[in-house]
């Protein structure tokens, strides 16, 4: 099978993790008889330096013409002083919108070898942490009207509008239900329906479509309670579906419960098979160029790409098993180091994972 992958190497240390992910993809292609070609795309700080904006239309077009997009991470202190509408992160929002990526899939899983890295008590971790957050990605407060004004008394005021339509809620809700059908058949819809009209509509739509999935156990929870329950007993969750801002906050909380953001991949999908795959961590400017960053999340994001966009489940399993085998061997990058293990750098971790494929 031939696939063209748009590569956004990103900024600072993300360039290092992308190198390891490409090496793994090439090894998989060689073993399984595929051909992966790569289109280089500038986004974020790299695009600001080159073009003066975080994602030019020409670079977005490359992503739209690809079979899928693999992203490292963008941003960093070098661009802190640029205008708000030119910040590196604006490129990511434009990319999601341009590709029509309305769902973000964020697994929260504790690898058994890294259980001690979780801040939760062992008695909680032993019950298991393995759930997925399905986050609506191109609606809500992040894409609503943002306004700042001066009131008559001279005081500054600001507003950010949350807007959701029925079809936006239904399509993300159905993705959540369908994912639950492939897992443990439990779905929790998270909102703030006791306060927000947008959440009242969210809940009404979820109530309407839940009967289409009688094999899925449905529940709902206010977002503040959900944030508490994730740290009290994460084993109760299988699939969580929620709106954009709530999902942003809860998925970051979940990544820390799981022990390390250096092991956490994610995917963003729309109606077609072309998706965006990226680790959830940032560009790590403090260790850029030092061969210290953990490439595992980017490599696991590549595995998600094979699974969800290319229907290469066996190949994705191969990568995930390789990462697991390396952890069993006691190799760790600095972010997941523990007593009795061998600390290695980014490239050495990539080498070790390659050796297992």
Catalytic status, residue 238: no
Report the candidate in 21, 6, 16, 10 with the shortest Cα–Cα distance to residue 75: 10
Instruction: Identify the bridge partners of residue 158 per DSSP, sorted by sequence position.
Output: 148
Catalytic residue among 130, 160, 252, 291: 252
Catalytic status, residue 248: yes
H or E segment and range at residue 224? helix 223-232
Catalytic residue among 51, 142, 222, 351: 142
Contacting residues for 4 by C-beta, under 8 A, at least 6 apart: 36, 37, 38, 39, 65, 66, 67
Catalytic residue among 49, 197, 212, 224: 224
Residue 287 has φ and ψ, to the nearest 5°, of -120, 15
Catalytic residue among 42, 238, 248, 335: 248
Catalytic status, residue 191: no
Catalytic status, residue 222: no
Catalytic residue among 192, 213, 218, 238: 192
Buried b (16+ CB within 10 A) or exposed e, 61-86: ebbeebbbbbbbbbbbeebeebeeee
d(CA 303, CA 317): 8
Angle CA(304)–CA(6)–CA(256) in degrees, nearest 5? 40
Residue 110 to residues 106, 120, 262, Cα–Cα distance (Å)? 13, 11, 12
Which residue numbers are catalytic?
Answer: 142, 192, 224, 248, 252
């Amino acid at each position: 099978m031939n696939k063209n992958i748009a590569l956004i190497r990103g900024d600072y240390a993300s360039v290092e993790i992308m190198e390891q992910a490409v090496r793994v993809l090439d090894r998989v292609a060689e073993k399984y008889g595929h051909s992966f070609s790569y289109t280089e795309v500038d986004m974020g700080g790299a695009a600001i330096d080159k073009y003066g904006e975080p994602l030019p239309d020409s670079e977005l077009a490359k992503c739209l013409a690809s079979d899928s997009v693999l992203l490292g991470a963008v941003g960093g202190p070098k661009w802190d002083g640029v205008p708000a509408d030119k910040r590196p992160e604006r490129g990511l929002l434009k990319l999601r919108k341009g590709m029509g990526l309305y769902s973000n899939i964020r697994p929260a899983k504790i690898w058994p070898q890294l259980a001690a890295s979780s801040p939760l008590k062992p008695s909680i971790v032993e019950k298991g942490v393995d759930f997925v957050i399905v986050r609506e990605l191109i609606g809500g407060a992040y894409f609503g009207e943002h306004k700042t004004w001066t009131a008559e008394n001279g005081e500054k005021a600001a507003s950010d509008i949350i807007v959701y339509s029925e079809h936006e809620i239904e399509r993300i809700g159905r993705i959540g239900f369908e994912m639950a059908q492939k897992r443990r058949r439990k779905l929790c819809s998270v909102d703030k329906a006791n306060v927000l009209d947008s959440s009242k509509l969210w809940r009404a739509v979820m109530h309407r479509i839940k009967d289409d999935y009688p094999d899925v156990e449905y529940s709902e929870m206010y977002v503040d309670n959900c944030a508490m329950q994730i740290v009290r007993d994460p084993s109760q969750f299988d699939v969580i579906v929620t709106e954009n801002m709530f999902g942003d906050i809860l998925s970051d909380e979940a990544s820390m419960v799981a022990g390390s953001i250096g092991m956490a991949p994610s995917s963003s999908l729309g109606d077609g098979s072309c998706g965006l795959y990226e680790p959830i961590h940032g560009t790590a400017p403090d260790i850029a160029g030092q061969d210290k960053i953990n490439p595992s999340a980017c490599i696991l994001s590549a595995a998600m790409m094979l699974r969800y966009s290319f229907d290469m489940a066996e190949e994705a399993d191969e990568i995930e098993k390789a990462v697991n085998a390396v952890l069993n061997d006691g190799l760790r990058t600095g972010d997941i180091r523990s007593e009795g293990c061998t600390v290695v750098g980014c490239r050495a971790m990539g080498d070790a994972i390659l050796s297992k494929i």
